[in-house]
Amino acid sequence: MKHLVAIIQSRQAFFQSAIFMRLSAILLALSAISSLLSAILLALSAIFSLLSAILLALSAISSLYQRFSWHSNKPIAAVCHVAQIFATILEVLKGRVLTAYIACKPEVQVAGAAYIDANLHTDGNLISGHAWPDLPGLMREFIQKLES
């Protein structure tokens, strides 16, 4: 019985100790931080949902503009990952030859176009570049197309 009383007294002493109080305060702070992070994640989720809707609207606008440009034979410049946007409109790339960032090669091929491993390539009104370092040459070719 003395042993049981000693255990109960030591537990009571622990719960009244400064260490227990500090641990309780830390746990309370962690709980508050967790709630704050949860609110931040919820806000970020709402922001990303809004951005997703905006990107979807821009994609539709881009799609209409691209169709207009392709069918009116206006010069179109595409560099790096732009091929991924073109790949959403299958009829514009079918039968074309272009270059793009190497990671975009599968999208180019699925859209029915031929991927060429070059820094710059011109196919009709489409001037394509591999990546941003190719912009000077791409812009020279694009301006020539505009002037002709």
Cα 79 to Cα 83: distance, rounded to the nearest angstrom = 8
121 in active site: no
- Residue 99, judged by CB atoms within 10 A of its CB (0-12, 13-18, 19+), counts as buried
Q: Which stretches of 46-148 are assigned E, i.e. beta strand?
A: 76-79, 97-98, 114-115, 120-123, 126-129
- Say if strands 114-115 and 97-98 run parallel, antiparallel, or are unpaired: parallel
Residue 55 CA to chain centroid, in angstroms? Answer: 11
Among 3, 81, 121, 130, the one annotated catalytic: 81
Q: Which amino acid is at 119?
A: N
Active centre residues (catalytic): 81
